[in-house]
Each structure stands twice: as C-alpha cells, then as structure tokens.
C-alpha cells in the first residue's frame, strides 16, 4: 500500500486484500461460483478462485468469500444464495448467514423486509450454480409528452412539470415524512405535489419519481422516509404508488434516487457505464450499465465492506465493520474530526456539524484538510474495489460532503491512488463532480423520463 489515509493508519483496503489473496492462490486454485437469486427469477453470478481442499491456507477462503458475498448481497440483492465450490466454504457461509449467525441482520433484512421470502444458502458444485439472468430495465430517456417528475427527500419533496424534456414548473416543499405514523399523510402529500404539477399542464401522459430506499416493482420495501409507519400498516406504504397509479390512470415508475442520479448523469454525459456515489448523511449509490439499463440491483453500498481491518469502525444498524457509510458520508467526517484536532459541538444537528467542519476546511484549517484528504484515499481504493463488481466508465461524485473545496480534495486523492497503484483504471474511468454539463439534465427531468408512454395513451387531465 503506497498511500495511507493521513488519519487512519489501520485502514486495509478491500481492493488490495482481494488482490493479495488472488495472487497467493495463483494458478493452482479451485473455482468457486457465488449465485444470487432475487425477484422475477433474476440471477447474478460471481466467479473467483480459492485455495483447494487440503491446502494449508484453505481457511483463508472463509473470510475472503464471506466478505465477497456481503458485498454482493448489498450490491445486487438476493433471497437465495448458491455457493458453488468446496463444501466447507458453503457450510461456513450458511452458518454465518443463518437466522442466528454472525450475519443474522443480513438474513432477516433480505428475507423479511426486501424480498418477503425465506433466505437460504445452498451448497453445491461450481457447475451446479444456475446461469446468469440479468434482465435490467431500459428505464428513462423518454422525453416526449407531458410528464411529472418528483423526488421524495427526508426534509423536502420536489416536483416538476416537464413538457417534451423542458421543465415548465418546479417547486420544493418542506415536509417531515419520518415523523408521521399514518400512511394517509404520505398519500396526501404526494398527491398534492402531483396535482400541483398537473395544474400547470393541459394533460398528464406519465409520472416518474425517485426516493431513497429499496424499491421493487414500484413498491417501497425499505425506506427511511417511512420509518415512522407501524409494521402492521406498512403494507399500505408498499401499495402506495400502485394505488396512485390506478387512481391517476397513467404510466408510473418509482425507483431509488441513486439510480435516478446515475441516469441523469448518463443523459447529460451522453454515455453509459455510470456509477453515481452521493456522500451525504450516508452513502447512496446508483448504476447505469454499459447498455444504458438500470439493473434492478439494490446498490446499497453504504452496507458493502471496503475496509478489511479488524479495527474498522462499526456500522451500528447492521452490526458489521468497514462498510461504505463509515467512509463515504458525513459519518466519516465526524469520525475523523477528533483525530484532526477538531471538537464538534454536540448540541447541534448533524447538518450543522458537517457545516461546522466544512467552514474550517474553507478557512484553511490543516486538520480539516487532512479529513478530506483521507476520504480521498478511501475513495480511490474504494473505487478500485467497486470496479471488481461493476463495469464502470464514469464515476459521478456528489452530495453535501463534496461542497466547496472538499470535492476537489476527494477527487484529487482518488486520482492519486489510481495513478500510483492502478494506472490502468485511471485510463479507463473518468471521475466527475457535478458541473454545468452534468446538471443540464436534472434529477426531475431524469425521473420524469422513466415511464414509457403507450402509443394508445393520449393523456388525461388530473382532477384537482
């Protein structure tokens, strides 16, 4: 490791650890295939080499495969996992990801909250893992007609009226979705936004939206916006957009906001293979593949490991360590601040805490600068690890942590890592901060462009 984050000498990049493992395995390894089955019979595969049975380093396989599977689960999702290879590895993974195992959080989350199916691990031979079935969706880029685009955030909801790709009306309204326990509040607020935008156009042909959380077939399975809803009433939230679509009788698509951000970047840059990473209160991500498809993967990289150090920080919700949220968000700023000699006031909101440190950065505080330089090193090694799982041509970096000179420090740090250790990736991947070219197609237009307008649909006015 030629470049260390200034404030974190214990950091062990997953990218380097996996490359060292593969080098040690060499040409005499045995094949192992991980398969993940998710909704609509879609299936992902990941192939690697491991030490064969009887090898003195065989037990090194266990942590290596567990960390790879952890990444894949949060990148792609799945309720059924196949481990095709040495049986002892599959048995270890099965124990880890059992209902009472070390990764019981992941077991319950994927089964009960996301896919509503029992979670299971199947041990088998490598050639018994099913073939890949990656459908994806060619969502977006449809600019014709009279459309509504909306984005549901934690503190405000945005809506735009879009006619043939041009925004003719847009508004932001403050709301507090997380504090409300009645699904009727969310329905009323969203319908009010849609009707406001509809009143600015002669008709509505389609509606597209984005929101934080995990969405499957327009159903919010897990979303922080709805954390106040009691479990026994969450079914009303899962069916919220299905209800709205039926009532308004126009095509409607709602997907994760990270994917919409990546789509907006793809439309602006006019290229595909885009990974968008937002460094905000947590890490959000989205991906548009080389064919311009939104994959249907979870892309919840906040919970995907990128640091293999045993001293890595704990992600409190999942109970795991070394996950993206602790490195690519304001949580990282708060974690490194004491090491940088910065004492953040405890009695202010998190947004104000971040602003407090950013003001020191802009004022030239050396400790604050070292925070963002360290994050830039994290980002460089993190992108190398991400490139093992995504086909990437462009990376779009955005979010509150990129404001001011912080954004340049992040990109410079990442480029320094790539130039020093992975020059082939620096030639392949272009890093972007949002500039005027990227902003040319905004989130609202990208969201509005999601649905296809059927040729028989002439559009109807929405009643007030």
| Torsion, Cα of 448, 452, 455, 457 (10° steps) | -50
How buried is 100 (Cβ within 10 angstroms: 0-12 exposed, 13-18 middle, 19+ buried)?
Answer: exposed
Q: What is the pTM of this model?
A: 0.91
Distance CA 79, CA 88 (A): 21
Distance CA 15, CA 353 (A): 31
Q: Order the strands of the 394-398 sheet from edge to edge.
A: 283-288, 274-279, 394-398, 430-432
From 444, 411, 393, 386, select the one nearest 264 (Cα to Cα).
444
Alpha helices in 309-365 (DSSP H): 330-336, 350-362
Strand partners, 80: 37, 120
Strand partners, 146: 163
Strands 146-152 and 206-211: what pairing? Answer: parallel
From 441, 352, 330, 336, select the one nearest 396 (Cα to Cα).
441
Domains by residue range for the chain, with CATH = 14-128 (no CATH), 146-253 (3.30.420.40), 261-439 (3.30.420.40)
396 contacts 276 by C-beta, under 8 angstroms: yes
Per-residue pLDDT of the chain (464 residues; tens, 9 = 90+): 789 999 999 999 999 999 999 999 999 899 999 999 998 889 999 999 999 999 999 999 999 999 999 999 999 999 999 999 999 999 999 999 999 999 999 999 999 999 999 999 999 999 999 999 998 777 889 999 999 999 998 778 899 999 999 999 999 898 889 889 999 999 999 999 999 999 999 999 999 999 988 999 899 999 888 989 999 999 999 999 999 999 999 999 999 988 998 998 999 899 999 999 999 888 989 999 999 999 989 999 999 999 999 999 999 889 999 999 999 999 999 999 999 999 999 999 888 999 999 999 999 999 999 999 999 999 999 999 999 999 999 999 988 899 999 999 999 999 999 999 999 999 999 999 987 555 555 778 899 999 999 765 556 566 55
Number of other residues whose CB lies within 10 A of the CB of residue 55: 16
Determine the angle formed by the axes of helices 350-362 and 366-386, rounding to 10 degrees: 110
Residue 263 carries which DSSP code?
H
Distance CA 18, CA 389 (A): 12
Distance CA 298, CA 259 (A): 9
């Amino acid at each position: 490791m030629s470049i260390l984050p200034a404030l974190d000498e214990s950091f062990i990049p997953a990218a380097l650890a996996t490359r060292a493992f593969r080098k040690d395995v060499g040409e005499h390894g045995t094949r192992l295939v991980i398969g993940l089955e998710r909704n609509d019979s879609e299936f992902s595969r990941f192939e690697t080499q491991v030490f064969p049975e009887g090898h003195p380093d065989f037990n090194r396989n266990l942590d290596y495969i567990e960390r790879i599977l952890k990444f894949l689960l949060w990148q792609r999702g799945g309720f059924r996992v196949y481990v095709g290879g040495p049986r002892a590895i599959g048995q270890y993974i099965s124990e880890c990801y059992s209902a009472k195992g070390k990764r019981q959080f992941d077991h319950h989350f994927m089964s009960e909250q996301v896919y509503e199916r029992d979670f299971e691990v199947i041990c088998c031979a490598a050639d018994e893992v099913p073939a890949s079935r990656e459908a994806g969706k060619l969502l977006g880029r449809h600019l014709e007609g009279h459309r509504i685009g909306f984005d549901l955030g934690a503190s405000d909801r945005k809506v735009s009226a879009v006619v043939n790709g041009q925004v003719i009306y847009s508004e932001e309204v403050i709301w507090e979705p997380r504090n409300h326990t009645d699904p009727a509040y969310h329905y009323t607020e969203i319908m009010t936004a849609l009707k406001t935008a509809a009143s600015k156009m002669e008709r509505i042909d389609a509606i597209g939206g984005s929101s934080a959380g995990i969405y499957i077939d327009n159903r919010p399975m897990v979303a922080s916006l709805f954390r106040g809803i009691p479990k026994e009433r969450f079914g009303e939230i899962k069916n919220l957009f299905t209800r709205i679509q039926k009532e308004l009788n126009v095509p409607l698509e709602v997907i994760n906001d990270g994917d919409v951000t990546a789509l907006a970047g793809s439309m602006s840059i006019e290229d595909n293979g885009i990974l968008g990473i937002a460094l905000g209160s947590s890490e959000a991500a989205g991906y548009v593949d080389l064919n311009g498809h939104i994959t249907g993967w979870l892309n919840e990289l906040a919970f995907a490991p990128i640091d293999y150090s045993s001293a890595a920080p704990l992600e409190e919700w999942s109970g795991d360590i070394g996950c993206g949220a602790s490195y690519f968000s304001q949580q990282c700023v708060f974690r490194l601040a004491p090491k940088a000699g910065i004492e953040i006031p405890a009695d202010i909101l998190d947004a104000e805490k971040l602003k407090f440190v950013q003001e020191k950065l802009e004022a030239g505080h050396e400790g604050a600068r070292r925070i963002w330089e360290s994050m830039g090193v994290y980002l460089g090694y993190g992108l190398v690890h991400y490139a093992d799982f995504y086909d990437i041509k462009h990376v779009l970096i955005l979010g509150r942590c990129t404001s001011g000179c912080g954004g340049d420090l992040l990109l410079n740090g990442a480029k320094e890592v790539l130039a020093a250790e992975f020059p082939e990736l620096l030639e392949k991947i272009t890093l972007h901060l949002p500039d005027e070219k990227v902003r040319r197609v905004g989130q609202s237009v990208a969201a509005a462009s999601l649905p296809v307008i059927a040729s028989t649909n002439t559009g109807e006015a929405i009643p007030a």
